[in-house]
Amino acid sequence: MIALSLERDVHAVFGGAVTGADVIGWTSSLILLATIMRQTYTQWKTKATAGVSKWLFVGQLAASTGYTIYSYLLHNWVFLTSNVALLATAVVGQFLYMRNRRRAKSAAGAPPSS
């Protein structure tokens, strides 16, 4: 019963039947997003930049932007939703990285770089 209700709800929202591929896609997207959000949370909580490359977030930002556009053009809502969320995480991660680097340099007495 719950599965039938869920399928009807998803059908109403997405306009089509949910396939096994959709379930795999959504599950994978949630796992990826959870791991990246955890990294961003840890970076925010510890205020540390050690071991974090700014290029990680720059690359994530570029890739997520490209994948967002690509997913939109294909009307692939699983990947569109996932990539918009990953794009937001990349922006937050880059902001935290730059803020934490600035704070670390200020604490060390070095002038912050632009």
In this structure, what CATH number is given to the domain that contains residue 46? 1.20.1280.290
Helices (H), the chain: 2-14, 20-46, 54-74, 77-108
In a domain, 111, yes or no: no
Q: Which domain holds residue 86?
A: 2-100
pLDDT tens string, the chain, 114 residues long: the values are 455 555 555 555 556 677 887 787 778 778 877 887 887 788 788 877 776 777 777 777 788 888 888 888 888 888 899 889 888 888 888 888 888 888 888 888 766 555
Would the pTM count as exceeding 0.85? no
Q: What's CA 60's distance to the chain center, in Å?
A: 8
Nearest CA to 85 out of 77, 74, 73 is that of 77
In a domain, 93, yes or no: yes
In a domain, 31, yes or no: yes
In a domain, 55, yes or no: yes
Q: Are 18 and 58 in contact (CB under 8 A)?
A: no
- Amino acid identity, position 59: G
The tally of domains found in the chain comes to: 1
Nearest CA to 104 out of 112, 96, 93 is that of 112
In a domain, 87, yes or no: yes
